[in-house]
A and B are shown apart, each in its own frame.
Chain A
């Protein structure tokens, strides 16, 4: 746990995705989604990622993709409801160094949010950190 970074300007899901919400247009919010430093540290040796198709509609909590390490394949859940507008096609080549920059270059996909109220269910950095501490016991 020590040394792992959880930026304050992001929201977090209990399933270890982070969300950065940005305004795209008036009344239009876009969420950038990735997985947290805690998840990357736990998965270790990442080898493959599968991302959702652009245009796919996702429910909050729905399985959107997969991340594969040498030991396991883990689902990636969408923390928000909306439509996928972009995916990080460079991600597959960055997996080895994902831990170096999980919150900028390490983004997974972007979603145009259709249910902004759903964001209230996500955690703030301090809450998420507590959640991780309880999981690592």
Chain B
């Protein structure tokens, strides 16, 4: 995008054209009493040299996962990102076309989003996918709003303590001004008991939201949870791990109505605050309730294949207060990265990644358990994450010591689960080597 400067004479001309005397006059409707009558509290400007040095110093304080052995997960994972992803996604044709306001003029971007939607439907077994949302947390909240609109029920949403706590926080924020009760099932055994979910459903329940594999890494019984939801006339919303679907049954196969995910694991670097990728796919009957952008393939008047935004009539720039969502944008560049990653890996490559995660995670648990100091908290089948506990340990000292040795040993759970104050959530991806896992187990002794 070209940067267009505006000189004082440009500004004068614009003001004259619209018949206003000064820029100040444009803000007249803002009441005096709420105006800021002092300069912003900002440091003085820097020269380019000073700024480069300053940013370099700030950046040097980071500890990127790539330099250490990272066993952190809890929603953000250190999977390998092939160089092709960075190379293609940083091409200027894609890099600048963020979210096109004249979308059909950007056929290349629309084609990429269409490919993304196709890949997500293949991965999930769902009928349709949108062209992405902000992140996993907002995808969960949007899925719940969809379920409420589709069922006409606003009374209750059933979820569980083992759904990502920050996703549940986001959901609570979305629902704060609605009459809806969020019923959170306790999961002391690590998983939801299907009969417990069934008992929590009533005829005012819009949906059941469960995560599989869940926040603790354990596998749920997705069919039974979907059946319980449907038996009560509610929808089933599943939060999935995209990598896990190379091994596990797909949400579409076990009857989920809406499938959502954090797409960061698909070729997007771990970073504080994002940008990440919200994945949302659903059954075709729900397509008109689906928020966000949807790209369709068609032919132009000369019969050439082309792409258009479709079903836009329910978006906020057209439908205002009745829109499906107040989010009108997408994560185009992140969706592009996910598309490149998925296309590059292919089904066999993704399966290899998933297999390596399972095997290395299970090896890690075996290694850390060998002296008996650490116990498994939930004795359940798991994918790439697990929870271990060591009674009486000073976790923060142990984690600091491990970090000194270049090992991010895990995520302490006390922030969200006071009852798990001595427990660590550990993620093991395909990137971890045998030597790293052994060093990790030693560091925890």
Contact = CB atoms under 8 A, between A and B. Distances in A.
A73 B316 CA distance: 12
Contacts of B249: none
Contacts of A68: 288, 313
B305 interface: no
A48 B318 contact: no
Nearest to B310: A70
Interface in B284-326: 288, 313-314, 318-319, 322
Contacts of A72: 313, 318-319
By size class, the interface of chain A is: under 10
A23 interface: no
Describe B's contact surface by its main secondary structure. helix
A69 B322 CA distance: 16
Interface string A44-72: 00001010010000000000000011111
Contacts of B319: 72-73
A55 B313 CA distance: 29
Contacts of A50: 288
Nearest to B287: A48
Nearest to A73: B313
A71 B311 CA distance: 9
Nearest to B319: A73
A48 B285 CA distance: 12
Contact of A71 (B152, B288, B313, B322): B313
Interface string B137-164: 0000000000000001000000000000
Nearest to B288: A48
A73 B322 CA distance: 10
A62 to B, nearest CB: 14
A75 to B, nearest CB: 8
A14 to B, nearest CB: 20
Contacts of B314: 73
B363 to A, nearest CB: 53
A68 B322 CA distance: 13
Nearest to B323: A73
B348 to A, nearest CB: 40
A64 to B, nearest CB: 13
A122 to B, nearest CB: 25
Interface in A52-100: 53, 68-73
Contacts of B322: 73
Interface string A22-55: 0000000000000000000000000010100100
Nearest to B152: A53
A70 B296 CA distance: 13
A78 B288 CA distance: 22
A70 B308 CA distance: 13
A71 B309 CA distance: 12
A68 B319 CA distance: 11
The CB with the most chain B CB atoms within 10 A, among A48, A68, A69, A73, is that of: A73
Contacts of B152: 53
Contacts of B288: 48, 50, 68
B150 to A, nearest CB: 11
Contacts of A73: 313-314, 318-319, 322
A50 B288 CA distance: 10
Name which of A50, A53, A68 has the most chain B CB atoms within 10 A of its CB: A68
A48 B289 CA distance: 13
A83 B222 CA distance: 39
Nearest to B324: A73
Interface string B316-339: 001100100000000000000000
Nearest to A48: B288
Contacts of B313: 68-73
Interface in B116-152: 152
Nearest to A72: B313
A32 to B, nearest CB: 24
A57 to B, nearest CB: 13
Contacts of A53: 152
B318 to A, nearest CB: 7
B25 to A, nearest CB: 35
A73 B288 CA distance: 11
Contacts of A70: 313
A45 to B, nearest CB: 11
A73 B403 CA distance: 56
A68 B318 CA distance: 12
A94 to B, nearest CB: 18
Interface in B261-288: 288
9 contacts: A53-B152, A68-B288, A68-B313, A70-B313, A71-B313, A72-B313, A72-B319, A73-B313, A73-B318
Given A48-B288, A69-B313, A73-B313, 8 more contacts: A50-B288, A71-B313, A72-B313, A72-B319, A73-B314, A73-B318, A73-B319, A73-B322
Please provide the 4 A-B residue pairs with the shortest distance between their CB atoms, ordered closest to farther. Answer: A73-B313, A72-B313, A68-B313, A73-B314
